[in-house]
Structure 1
Amino acid sequence: MVPFQRGAPSASKQVGQIPANYTEGAGTIVSGTTANKATEAALAAYPGGVVDRVVQLSSGEYEAHNVGVNWPHHIFVNQDFTVVGAE
């Protein structure tokens, strides 16, 4: 867990696989069971934050938008609801 400190910048980094052609802000917001499964996977891998939305990307993967922590801000989950990367 990475504790959040208001106003404290964190180092930018990436781990795992970021979907090809990923563009922040692109995709379609999903809800219901799909969003719940993606959120559960994201928070199991990176606990301590709050996912405020889940977006399906053009690749079919999902981006969980994680707030309340310095890092990671975007957690990428594949179609099997397995975390594959973060930034």
Structure 2
Amino acid sequence: MGEIPDYTEGEGTIVSGSTADKAVQAAQAVVPGGIADCVVRLDDGEYEVHNISMNWPHHVFVDKDFNVVGWE
């Protein structure tokens, strides 16, 4: 499962464009099948990719270099 940051769902800033695309691509490479409805930049610089098409993992966490670090 990897490292899950200490965060509260709903916090952070929604990102789009190439940054969001890179985060989604990283998440889908490790956890295939997810359809992301948003990507959120967390306060620590990591990203949360929010999957709406799957019951698990619903959240995939990607670091600032677009490496998956965990999911839940």
Q: Flag whether TM exceeds 0.5 (same fold).
A: yes
> Quick check: which has more Rg, 1 or 2?
1
TM-score by length of 2: 0.95
Aligned length: 72
Q: Which runs of 4+ in 1 moved over 6 A?
A: none
Secondary structure, in 3 states, of the residue corresponding to 2:9?
coil
> Could you say what the CA RMSD is over the residues aligned between the two structures, in angstroms?
0.7
Q: 2 CA distance for matches of 1:83 and 1:41? A: 6
TM-score by length of 1: 0.80
What is the letter of the counterpart of residue 17 of structure 1? E
How much identity, in percent, do the aligned residues show?
A: 64
Q: 2 CA distance for matches of 1:24 and 1:61? A: 14
1:21-56 deviations in whole A, cap 9, x for unaligned?
311110000001100000000111111120110000
